Every structure is written in structure tokens, then in C-alpha cells.
């Protein structure tokens, strides 16, 4: 059985199938050979299914506490054992004597195992706590897998009935899954590479992601500033919701000193710092310096959620001058080419073991970087807000930008001429030193 996800889609399918850059694939295939469910000869036979989840989304990952995959069995199937994952509940297995199945629920929910489990419980690409990186960020970490032994499922491709009602939580809602569809059976090479074996059958399921299903309001906002204008353009008021003292906390509140205030809740309810925008994440874009042939931008990402760290975060920016990125400081950067020949979109993400973890709200709840861009004489300008991004996405969700008519504007030409000369003179002085 197979499964897959995308920036907008999750598809359960073959790992070698051609997929878009914004899809996650979970492959479930059942080998031809049967295996006993236990050492007891009275136990009915079972088939082993290998589930591979390939995340082909370029910038939407699954962060801690990880994915939960669910479905409904078509008949009276049970799970005898699992390697690399486990179900969250065993269910009622009272009708079984002797060997007891791992799960008897008709609607099992499966989660990944945590890092550090014993080797005999591990499977290839398992045991990462359900965290799956985006394909564009770390292809090697964009795979998750486990093995499941299914009983009472039939022993041929004519007697096995496909499960239904697939669900994917990551860890919240957002994905809607369609029915399972049979695809050509997966083949496997033996270790010596001289023989192929074939799975009993393989199927896939397509799930579509919707930011509107995940949440009713945006989850991030953007603010602007520039060296040529003293005005700081904040996030729009109530960008992610309006302030409510019952759902937010002041930055100087004594409640923050209580033990456990940063502990996540099971329902993932946030504890936000009280702000006018009430967004968990704010991205600030500052036009910092203008050189003769280059210009420099500073990006700061701030977390206002006291209960959540953002692991392996991603930031996607759309701007016409990203086709001339000269250097990125403190962040890793990868251009995205959604339209082939148009290079105006790029993905920023944290350096591993340095700033790939955005801490909870507080003194350390921010990450920053600077970008040096080379000017294109035919397009570069500071007029009419050209220096500011067209769109910004944090962890795959679009952020709310300020209204275009509020962007920092250029001063009058007399002041601008003095400003330009001052900047050029400052650069020359620095170079001479």
C-alpha cells in the first residue's frame, strides 16, 4: 500500500513514480510471501506491508510532534506486529487467545517511533519522531518508512481489499485524502542484484492540502522597513486574529515564570504573546544598504508562540531580484524554479545544528540573516515598493503582507541625492581602510 503528500497534495504511490515538486508519497506494498503472525501454529497467516513515505514537497515539511497516518480496514483485518512505527491504541483484542495482535481497531492511527529505540524495532528511514523534511531542504531526510504485518487480510491480490478513509495529520489538520487506487506492483532487487521479486500488490492514495482547512486565518505576517525612510510598516492589525486576554500573554507577565509554561499541549493550542497582529510568526524585511552595484536586505523571523519550537523551518520569498543573489549570511538558500525560466522565488532555511531550530517566544525566539543582491540595471529601483517581496511563505503557509499603499516610500529627490552620495562616500572610505 502506498501514500503521498504535496504542498497541496498527499499521494500514496510508488516511490519511482514521477511526482510534482510539491508532493509527499507514502508507498504501501505487500510482498508475495506469507509469514506466520506468531510462533503459534494456530495463528492465522498474515502478509507484510512496507510503507514508504516520500515527501516531494519543496518547502512544506512535517515538524515535531510528527505525522499520524490513519485509515479504515475494509473487513476484519488486524495488525499483528509493526517495525519502525506503532499504533496509538491497541483496541479490543479479547477474541484472540494466545498471541495477541498489536492492534485490533478498525480505524488504526499510526505514528513514527522516537529516535533511540532498540535496533530490533527499527526499520530503514524510521524513528525520527514523525519529522519529515521537505524535499528541497534535505532529500535524505524527506523519507519515512515502517513495516506492518496484517492478519485476516487475504492472501492474493484478488482477496485483499483496499483500506478506505485515509487521514493524515501533520500534526494538525489540512489534508483531505481520496480513495485508494491500485497501481502496478512494486518490484525489488535482491542484494546481489541478479533477481527481482514482486510485491503482492501496491496502491496509492492522493491527499490535498488546504491552508484554509488547516486554519481559518493566516499563521504569519510580514513587516517592512528601509534605510531611506524612518517609518516602520508593521504587520496589519488582526492579521492572524484579534487580541484576546484569554488567549495571549504579555511579554513581561509573571505567568511566564511558572514551570511548564512552554510545554506543548495535546491539542496544540498556542500561547501567544499579545500583539496587534496576533500571529505566531512575524517576518521582517529591511532594505538595509544601497551600494553602487549591489544592495543588501536583512531578514528577521520572530516566534511569538511560547509553546512551540519550529524545527527545520523554511521561508520562501518571491522577489524579481532573487535571480541575482550574490551571498546569503547565516541561512542556507536554494532557488526554486516553479515556472522553469523565471527565477524569482527562493527558499531560505536554517543551517543544521546552528539555527535550524526557531526557539519559542522569548529572548532567543528569533533567527536573522542578510542577503546581498546584485543589481540589474534594467529592473532595479526603490520606487513604488519594488524592493519588497511579492509573497512570503513560512513553513509552506502564505503570510499576510501589509497593504501596498503603506510600503516605505522614497523621500524627495534632493534628500535622495544627498543620501546616495553619503552611501557611496561611506563605501569608498570603508574600502580604503
Closest Cα partner for 99 from 31, 45, 148, 156?
Answer: 45
- Over residues 75-114, the pLDDT tens digits come to 999 999 999 999 999 999 999 988 999 999 999 999 999 9
62 and 202, same domain (yes or no)? yes
Task: Report how far residue 273's alpha carbon sits from residue 268's, in angstroms, rounded to the nearest whole number.
Answer: 16
pLDDT at residue 412, as a whole number: 67
Q: Sorting pLDDT into bands at 50, 70 and 90, what band is 33?
A: very low
- Over residues 195-221, the pLDDT tens digits come to 998 888 888 877 777 888 888 889 999
In the chain, how many domains are there? 2
87 and 189, same domain (yes or no)? yes
What would the grid cell of residue 57 be?
A: 514537497
pLDDT at residue 393, as a whole number: 96
Q: Report, in angstroms and rounded to the nearest whole number, the Rg of the chain calculated over CA atoms.
A: 26
Q: Are 222 and 392 in contact (CB under 8 A)?
A: yes
Residue 257, C-beta contacts closer than 8 angstroms, at least 6 positions apart:
none
Q: Which domain holds residue 105?
A: 2-212
**pTM: predicted TM-score of the whole model, two decimal places:** 0.82
CATH number for the domain that contains residue 87: 2.60.40.290
Boundary (domain end) residue, out of 192, 212, 232: 212
332 and 231, same domain (yes or no)? yes
What would the grid cell of residue 266 be?
A: 495535546
312 and 182, same domain (yes or no)? no
What would the grid cell of residue 170 be?
A: 501533520
118 and 56, same domain (yes or no)? yes
Boundary (domain end) residue, out of 167, 192, 212: 212
Q: 124 lies in a domain?
A: yes
Amino acid at each position: 500500500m502506498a501514500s503521498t503528500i504535496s504542498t497541496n497534495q498527499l499521494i500514496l504511490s510508488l516511490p519511482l513514480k514521477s511526482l510534482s515538486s510539491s508532493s509527499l508519497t507514502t508507498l504501501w506494498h505487500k510482498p508475495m510471501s506469507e509469514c506466520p503472525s506468531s510462533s503459534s501454529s494456530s495463528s492465522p497467516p498474515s502478509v507484510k506491508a512496507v510503507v514508504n513515505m516520500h515527501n516531494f514537497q519543496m518547502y512544506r515539511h512535517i515538524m515535531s510532534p510528527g505525522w499520524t497516518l490513519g485509515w479504515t480496514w475494509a473487513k476484519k483485518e488486524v495488525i499483528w506486529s509493526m517495525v519502525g512505527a506503532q499504533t496509538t491504541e491497541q483496541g479490543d483484542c479479547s477474541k484472540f487467545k494466545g498471541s495477541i495482535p498489536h492492534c485490533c481497531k478498525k480505524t488504526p492511527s499510526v505514528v513514527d517511533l522516537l529516535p533511540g529505540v532498540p535496533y530490533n524495532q527499527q526499520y530503514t528511514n524510521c524513528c525520527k519522531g514523525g519529522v519529515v523534511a521537505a524535499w528541497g531542504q534535505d532529500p535524505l531526510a524527506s523519507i519515512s518508512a515502517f513495516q506492518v504485518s496484517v492478519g485476516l487480510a487475504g492472501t492474493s491480490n484478488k482477496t485483499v481489499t483496499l483500506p478506505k478513509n485515509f487521514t493524515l495529520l501533520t500534526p494538525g489538520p489540512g489534508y483531505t485524502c481520496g480513495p485508494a487506487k491500485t497501481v502496478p506492483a512494486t518490484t525489488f532487487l535482491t542484494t546481489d542484484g541478479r533477481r527481482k521479486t514482486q510485491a503482492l500488490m501496491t496502491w496509492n492514495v492522493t491527499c490535498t492540502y488546504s491552508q484554509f482547512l488547516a486554519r481559518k486565518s493566516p499563521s504569519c505576517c510580514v513587516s517592512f522597513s528601509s534605510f531611506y525612510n524612518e517609518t516602520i510598516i508593521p504587520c496589519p492589525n488582526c492579521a492572524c486574529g484579534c487580541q484576546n486576554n484569554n488567549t495571549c500573554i504579555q511579554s513581561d507577565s509573571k505567568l511566564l515564570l511558572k514551570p511548564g509554561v512552554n510545554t506543548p499541549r495535546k491539542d496544540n493550542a498556542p500561547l501567544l504573546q499579545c500583539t496587534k497582529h496576533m500571529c505566531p510568526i512575524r517576518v521582517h524585511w529591511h532594505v538595509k544598504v544601497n551600494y553602487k552595484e549591489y544592495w543588501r536586505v536583512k531578514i528577521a523571523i520572530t516566534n511569538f508562540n511560547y509553546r512551540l519550537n519550529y524545527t527545520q523551518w523554511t521561508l520562501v520569498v518571491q522577489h524579481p531580484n532573487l535571480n541575482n543573489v550574490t551571498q546569503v549570511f547565516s541561512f542556507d538558500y536554494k532557488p526554486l524554479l516553479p515556472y522553469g525560466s523565471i527565477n524569482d522565488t527562493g527558499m531560505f532555511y536554517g543551517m543544521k545544528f546552528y539555527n535550524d531550530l526557531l526557539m519559542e517566544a522569548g529572548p532567543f525566539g528569533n533567527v536573522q540573516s542578510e542577503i546581498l543582491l546584485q543589481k540589474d540595471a534594467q529592473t532595479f529601483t526603490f520606487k513604488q515598493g519594488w524592493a519588497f517581496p511579492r509573497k512570503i511563505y513560512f513553513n509552506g503557509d502564505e503570510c499576510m503582507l501589509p497593504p501596498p499603499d503603506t510600503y516605505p516610500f522614497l523621500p524627495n529627490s534632493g534628500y535622495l541625492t544627498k543620501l546616495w552620495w553619503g552611501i557611496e562616500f561611506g563605501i569608498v572610505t570603508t574600502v580604503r581602510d
